[in-house]
Amino acid sequence: MIATRDAYGEVLAELGGENDKIVVLDADLSGSTKTGVFAKKFPNRFFNMGIAEANMVGTAAGLASVGKIPFLSTFAIFAAGRGWEQIRQALAYPKANVKVVATHGGVTVGEDGGSHQSVEDVAIMRAIPNMTVIVPADGEETKGAIRAAAAYKGPVYVRLGRNKVPSVFPAGHKFEIGKGVVVVPGTDLTFITTGLMTAQAVIAAEKLKAEGISARVLHIGTIKPLDKELVEEAARETGAVITAEEHSVVGGLGGAVAEFLGETCPTLMKRVGVYDRFGTSGKSDELLKYFGLNAETLIEEAREIISRKK
Amino acid sequence: MKEKIADLEEKARRLRVAIVKTLHKSQSGHTGGSLSAIDMVCALYFHKMRHNPQEPTWDGRDRFVLSKGHAAPALYVTLAECGYFPSEDLMMLRRLGSHLQGHPDSKGTPGVDVCTGSLGQGLSMANGMALGLKLDGKDNRVYAVLGDGELQEGQVWEAAMAAAHYKSDNLCAFIDSNGLQIDGDVSKVMNVSSISDKFKAFGWNVIEIDGHDMGQIIAALDAAEAHKGAPTAIVAKTVKGKGVHLFENKASYHGVTPNDEELPEALKCLGCFD
């Protein structure tokens, strides 16, 4: 169990030692986003921009244009939300080599409430041309994703979480941008999941096995570009797809999969996520239950979709 | 020096002619703000900045950010005159397939380092460049041109705060203060006065000049370079549409191009009788 943001802090500091082109910007949240680990090790290459996200994005664009590889971090709501137009104009439009690593995505922000719970960031980042959008499942995948983002030339949005999450991938897991991973094989239906919902899908698949339902778990770490090959294969081979994400069902992973399958391979489908509403204050585990973002919901939806298949 | 100034003035006149011809051809683009900014852009590219048109991405170059990206014609005619790309390209401004986009686009145009045009963002980029160059121990300088109406964007002041905080003395921003924006007088739409006091309050070195006086422009650029410990804002009083009386001080010429009837008169004003 490790929070993806903690894995980020660790790997970013490692990368800092390997590549002196890497610079880091934060907007007064370096303790929470874990960029503080890098800041302590490489103070000259760390820029605290204060509570001014728009300027932080533009500054990163300038740093990239003189050859740096900037990583900028703040909470997802401020990175993607406050900085959206700057990310579009200054990063994506010119294909600037800047990595936006947003922590505290989704409802697990918890007690801070709906104002701080970003359930739209993946949708609005995904809508921008040239953007790559990554939502790791666990700490190991986060490390791989951050390394892949650093090696990739162009803008990347990585969405991380606040809380500790169960491990899905073994140590040393190789992350490849744009490649999904079949975590659990299965034939009756496929859970196509991202972020912390992948661990929940693994639990659900295990329990469904006892009922004689064979559920595949396809983890999509890169929402954009979507691994169309594995998604289509899952749809064709299992005939039913349930997407799950800690994000609005509008425009995120569920949206991406529905758009793609609707045009190429119409399939029985259900999207599990936040149904077009804002978050609310509460403990993160309470909120996951409140929004139905857990294995229990996936099991119910699996039974439902299997009954529709017949 | 007198000769140098005369040379630059002649260069600026020719660039104004190119702006008018380019915008007449494109029939789309921003005339007033291009003509107000051109003397400063001219002084930068033909006097102050280290750059190499034969090698647009030369590592040793100073950087330029046209934050008021709608004055793209001023930048494009200057880059063409320097030799970054053929002058014939100017006749394709804003056309489908042209590298000369409506607003500066680093993906296609040699000599353009960042994408600007969505107002208020260029100073942040310029300061990012300044921070990166300093980090590398380079003495290269970064220049930006902002509009006065553009100062209404809050991000400008986030950037102003950051540049002073990080003591970016390798950064120099011109404020092209022509006093007009799309809806009318800047002072009436949303007053930004006093520009100088604001930048001073944010910790900047401030120099006030006549933005069409080549001698003052050059002197201010030298003074900016000499000033250590803080970025410099050169607040330049300018005339929107400068050089062509038909367009001068008219907000209505913000995004309007010379038509067939206006063209001969406009060129005559600029001493061009081709």
Contact partners, residue A210, CB within 8 Å, separation at least 6: none
Nearest in space to B262 (alpha carbons), one of B273, B242, B246: B246
pLDDT score at A36: 98
On whether both A224 and A295 belong to a single domain, the answer is yes
Asked if residue A100 belongs to a domain, the reply is yes
From B6's Cα to the closest Cα of chain A, the distance in A is: 34
Q: Is B61 left (phi over 0), alpha (psi -120 to 50) or beta?
A: beta
A54, B124: Cβ pair inside 8 Å? Answer: yes
Tally the residues of chain B.
274
Output the pTM of the full model: 0.97
- Per-residue confidence band for B272, with pLDDT thresholds at 50, 70 and 90: confident
Average pLDDT, chain B: 97
pLDDT category at B9 given cuts 50, 70, 90 is: very high
Q: Cβ B124–A62 below 8 Å, yes or no? A: yes
Residues A253 and A120 in one domain: no
Query: Of A135, A165, A195, which residue is a domain's last?
Result: A165
Which chain B residue has its CA at the smallest distance from A83's CA? B155
Residue B274 has pLDDT above 80, yes or no: no
Q: What percent of chain B has pLDDT over 70?
A: 100
Predicted confidence at residue A124, as pLDDT, reads 98
The sheet carrying B205-210 orders its strands as B63-66, B142-147, B171-177, B232-237, B205-210
Closest-CA distance, B43 to chain A, in angstroms, reads 23
Note whether residue A159 is domain-resident.
yes
Chain A nearest-CA distance from B88, in A, is 24
Each residue's pLDDT expressed in tens, for chain A with a length of 310 residues:
999 999 999 999 999 999 999 999 999 999 999 999 999 999 999 999 999 999 999 999 999 999 999 999 999 999 999 999 999 999 999 999 999 999 999 999 999 999 999 999 999 999 999 999 999 999 999 999 999 999 999 999 999 999 999 999 999 899 999 999 999 999 999 999 999 999 999 999 999 999 999 999 999 999 999 999 999 999 999 999 999 999 999 999 999 999 999 999 999 999 999 999 999 999 999 999 999 999 999 999 999 999 998 7
Q: What percent of chain B is modeled with pLDDT above 90?
A: 96
> Among the three residues A133, A165, A197, which one is the final residue of a domain in this structure?
A165
Distance CA B19, CA B34 (A): 7
Q: Tokens for B117?
A: 């045009």
- Quickly tell me which residue has 């605290």 as its tokens: A48
For residues A12 and A144, membership in a common domain is answered with yes
Tell whether A133 and A266 lie within a shared domain.
Answer: no
| Whether residue A137 is found in the same domain as residue A197 | no
Q: Which domain holds residue A220?
A: 181-309
In this structure, are A119 and A222 located in the same domain? no
Whether residue A229 lies in the annotated active site: no
Candidates A53, A140, A141, A245; catalytic one: A53
CATH of domain B2-269: 3.40.50.970
Question: Does residue B67 have a pLDDT over 80?
Answer: yes
- CATH number, domain with residue A21: 3.40.50.970
Cβ atoms within 10 Å, residue B225: 15
> Which of A130, A165, A200 corresponds to the end of one domain?
A165
Average pLDDT (B80-101) is 97
Domain harbouring A284, CATH code:
3.40.50.920
- The answer to the question of residue A176 being in a domain is no
Mutate which: A22, A28, A46, A66, vs B, most B CBs within 10 A = A66
DSSP codes of every residue in A75-120: EHIIIIIITHHHIIIIIITTT---EEEEESBSGGGGGG-GGG-BSS
**H or E, element range at A146:** helix A139-151
Domain residue spans of chain B = 2-269
The predicted-structure confidence for B174-222, as pLDDT tens digits, reads as follows: 999 999 999 999 999 999 999 999 999 999 999 999 999 999 999 999 9
* Number of structural domains found in chain A: 2
